[in-house]
Amino acid sequence: MILVYEDGNNSIAVYPGAGAGLEESHVHAAASMLGNARVVMASCEVPLSATQAAFELARASGVLTLLNPAPATPLPEALWPMIDVLTPNEGELLMLAGETDLNLAAQTLLARGVGAVVVTLGERGCALFRPLTPLLLIPGHSVQVVDTIGAGDTFTGTLAAALARQENWTDALHWANAAAALSTQGRGAVTAMPSRHQVTLLLQSGIGAPRREACYAPK
């Protein structure tokens, strides 16, 4: 159930449904596919035991792992060091870390073994935290927001695709940022997600990289 407010922001109630039936046995049956991937991406809408099994297989084959921790839920200690990239929004980051300060929260999760934390900050943009590396902040870009449903999914999926293409961090975030911004200008989740061609046009227009435009994801 998704409620969209007049300003384009939303509230989502999640019922696990069929996703709750994903088991470790299903993951192991797909071991060959996971081992040949470039990025294995998961969210918290399936059992964490399945995600952990998938990340174990991915890591054993040198495959990048990416977790979008939505809906936010406490994660098992063994899962943290298996996450190469974590993509929470601000509220999810603070909840997962048990902190009230954004920087401290990100550093807390890095200390648990996460390779990189990419936090989306709504109209304020997004930030990349990595160990022993300066903060990379991409400021927000003003767009006419119609509907933020799927913006976070668009951001994470586009980021995963860019990392799979071995884009550097700055370029990968610009890709994700542009795609997410475009997605807020249409209605619905899948229906509002832009094509790669549309994202390319936005980036080439001078609004996107290398001018450090926004990423937009709902708080």
With beta carbons less than 8 A apart as the criterion, state whether 51 and 40 touch: no
Given the residues 7, 84, 147, 153, select the one marked as catalytic.
153
Q: From the DSSP assignment, how many helices (H) and strands (E) are in the chain?
A: 8, 8
Exposure b/e, 149-187, CB count within 10 A at least 16 = b? bbbbbbbbbbbbbbbbeebebeebbbbbbbbbbbbbeee
Q: At residue 31, what are phi and psi to the nearest 5 degrees? A: -60, -40
- State how far Cα 2 lies from the chain centre: 19
21 beta partners = none
Is 101 noted as a catalytic residue in this protein?
no
Q: In terms of Cα–Cα distance, which of 68, 84, 128 is closest to 102? A: 128
Tell me which residues are annotated as active site: 153
